[in-house]
Amino acid sequence: MKTFTLTRAGDSAQAIATAAKASTAQQGAEIRFIGGGTTLIDLMKLNVEQPKTVIDINRLPLDKIESLPDGGLTIGAVVRNSDLAYHPLVRKNYAVLSEAILSGASAQLRNMATTAGNLLQRTRCMYFRATDMPCNKREPGSGCAAITGVNRSLAILGTSEHCIATNPSDMNVAMAALEATIHVRGAKGERSIPIADFHLLPGNTPQRETVLEPGDLITHVTLPPPPPGSRSLYLKLRDRASYEFALASAAVVITVADAKIARARIALGGVGTKPWRSTEAEGELTGQPATQAVFQKAADAALRGAKPESENGFKVELAKRCLVHALKLATQPA
Amino acid sequence: MPDEDASNEKHDRENRLVFGQSTRRTFLSRLGMAGLLTSAGPVTTAFAQRSVKEPLPSPISKDAVPVTLTVNGKKHDLRIDPRTTLLDCLREHLHLTGSKKGCDHGQCGACTVHINGRRVNSCLCFAAMHEGEEITTLEGIGQPENLHPVQAAFVACDAYQCGYCTSGQIMSAVALLKEPCGPEDADVKELMSGNICRCGAYPNIVAAIQSVRQNAKTQKAG
């Protein structure tokens, strides 16, 4: 690990002013905020991340979960994953979020990992993590070893000829289906970013993973109130029964009324370069009866743009079956 | 550091094993030294010459930061490189070697300790970030003459083979007792999945944890 200076942020303004001096924002930047450290310290040990300054934001007052007047929820940036997953309001109104978080990592890691940190979780692509291999995300212009290499676990949606790295987070997939909003305070003031616009596709610049600018500090995330009569769930398929990243996963928030699907929000994990919201699948579901045939059409629509590589072609069918089964579970009589 | 010696002495006393008056640790270090003397004569000579000509650089980084850590109820004033993980700080600075280093990347759970009563991977914490928090290690939950119920259950259920992962397993299990966990073996397995046992002692580990939970339930009911 390279040496760095460790400072503790006294207040948000000070943290933002310091981080604004960096040439890039957060991921891979020379000035980094640290929350739980479960991704950052791991990557610093591998020399994948080499920040010169690390700012500890854990003592900032960003650790509350509170209900909003409209019935929604606000979640502080440094709220731990375990506190979020076990919160009574989350379990009651946002089951998909609780299930997604509890399906990821281990109890120890969930006690450390934060909401904001999870939004910025970096890929598990083995070429990104190995500094002796080419990787456009880690070292722009060096090439992508994964496209012609070991790519079984990598993405089939949203890829580019420069990067096929999967976004590894489960929480992000649930947040995408819940249409979360990410609130950021930066050098130029405050702004709110819908989660669909927060993560970037790799394109020609896979090193840039989010719309954050230097100095931007995620302060909290808000969730809209749960749609009346809706049900939500998260289904995750993987090589091991526990403590493993998704090969394919589905987050579903669905309302069935008068034997028709009135509203559906669908997001997929383990298959996309970003948390993969599928408005195509939602379009196939809305106004239709909750039947296997309709679910299948939605799944086909969600994976229509899939571009598999040499080893991850199985994910196309796996993701479809994952979504079909998740929809079946979410719409069967209670 | 005065409490370093005291902690060493205490550690030796607690971990005395079978090698006459030696502990496993001192025995192994002597063995290592003997090996060096018999097989690496020229190397030791070169090393000695080098140390005369140019002193080795100080192991303390110029970026070292002062930090006060509270471990098992005791305060320690330290000066550490900010890169020092909590795990390395516990083992190398405080000589609390109960917490083990397995993968050093948060994947195996051997380094599990409690911070403010919650289990975490100490290999993924920078020690300097945990000033003022209550850190508990295996040494803080029970002693040979006064075992924690989870430790006693691990002995009773033969919940280990080589023992390397055991302290992490025990620290995880102690924390699990206070977490929302369903009644079934499958629930325990799910919440213990962050602790890997290469010997595969899993069935006995689950049995040990379930026996403690069962006893707690019986006592509560009684």
Q: How many CA atoms lie within 13 A of A192 on its CB side?
A: 9
Q: Which of A90, A77, A173 is nearest to A117 (CA)?
A: A77
- Among candidates B139, B107, B125, which has minimal Cα distance to B12? B139
Q: Is the Cβ of B188 closer than 8 Å to some Cβ of chain A? A: no
Residue B181 in contact with partner chain A when CB distance is under 8 A = no
DSSP annotation of A122 reads P
Could you please state the CATH topology (level 3) that the domain comprising B149-217 is classified under: DNA polymerase; domain 1 (1.10.150)
What digits encode the pLDDT tens for the residues A176-186? Answer: 999 999 999 99
Determine contact: B128 vs chain A, CB below 8 A. Answer: yes
Q: Which CATH class is domain B65-140?
A: alpha beta
* Per-state percent for chain B, helix, strand, coil, to nearest 5: 50, 15, 40
Residues from chain B contacting residue A36 (CB–CB below 8 Å): 124
Probe site for chain B from A6, A41, A80, A108 (most B CB atoms < 10 A): A108
pLDDT score of B50: 52
Query: How confident is the model at residue A128, as a pLDDT?
Result: 98
CA distance B142 to chain A (A): 21
Residues in chain A closer than 8 A to B180 (CB atoms): 86
Of A156-165, A212-221, B49-58, the poorest mean pLDDT is in B49-58
Flag whether pLDDT at A261 surpasses 50. yes
Structure confidence at residue A293 (pLDDT): 98
How far A281 CA sits from the closest chain B CA (Å)? 32
Give the mean model confidence (pLDDT) for residues B163-181.
98
Q: Is B191 in a helix, a strand, or coil? A: helix
At residue B49 the predicted structure's pLDDT band, cuts being 50, 70 and 90, is low
Higher pLDDT: B201 or B58? It is B201
Residue A235 confidence (pLDDT) above 60: yes
Q: Does B81 touch chain A (CB under 8 A)?
A: yes
CA geometry: angle A324, A330, A332, nearest 5 deg: 95
Return the pLDDT at B221. 78
B59 touches chain A (CB under 8 A): no
- Confidence check: pLDDT of B218 > 70: yes
What's the rounded Cα separation, in Å, for the pair A203 and B186?
Answer: 43
Q: What is the mean pLDDT of residues A62-81?
A: 98
The token duo for B64 is: 């070292």
Nearest CA-CA distance, residue A243 and chain B, Å: 6
pLDDT at B38 over 70: no
CB nearest to B194's CB, from A3, A42, A243:
A243
Position A57 confidence tier, pLDDT thresholds 50, 70, 90: very high
Q: What percent of chain A has pLDDT above 90? A: 97
User: Are A265 and A253 a contacting pair, CB within 8 Å?
Assistant: yes
Is the confidence at residue B18, as pLDDT, over 70? no
How many Å apart are CA B19 and CA B28, to the nearest integer?
Answer: 10
Q: Do A34 and B126 touch (CB under 8 A)?
A: yes
pLDDT of residue B33: 52
Could you give all domains of chain A from N- to C-terminal order, each with its CATH number? 230-331 (3.30.390.50)
Q: Which residues are within 8 A (CB) of A2 and not within 5 positions of it... i.e. 6 or more apart? A: A44, A47, A50, A52
* pLDDT in the model for residue B40: 46
Chain segment B107-135, per-residue pLDDT in tens:
999 999 999 999 999 999 999 999 999 99
Nearest CA distance, B125 vs chain A (angstrom): 7
DSSP-assigned letter for residue A104: S
- Domain ranges within chain B, ordered by starting residue: 24-56, 65-140, 149-217
pTM of the model: 0.90
Which residues of A have a CB under 8 Å from any CB of B? 1, 3-6, 8, 34, 36-38, 41-42, 45, 54, 56, 58, 82, 86, 105-109, 111-112, 241-243
Chain B residues inside the 8 Å CB shell of A105: 194
How close B170 comes to chain A (CA, Å)?
Answer: 13
**What interhelical angle do A292-302 and A314-331 show, nearest 10?**
140
Q: Identify whether the C-beta of residue A234 lies closer than 8 Å to the C-beta of residue A170.
A: yes
What's the rounded Cα separation, in Å, for the pair A257 and A266? 18
What is the average pLDDT across A238-242?
Answer: 96
Q: Where are the beta strands (DSSP E) in chain A?
A: 5-8, 31-34, 53-56, 65-67, 73-76, 181-186, 189-194, 217-223, 230-237, 248-257, 260-269, 276-277
What is the tens place of the pLDDT at every residue in A155-174?
Answer: 999 999 999 999 999 999 99
Nearest CA in chain A to B125: A37
Q: What is the mean pLDDT of chain B?
A: 84
**In B44-61, which positions are buried (b, 16+ CB within 10 angstroms) versus exposed (e)?**
eeeeeeeeeeeeeeeeee
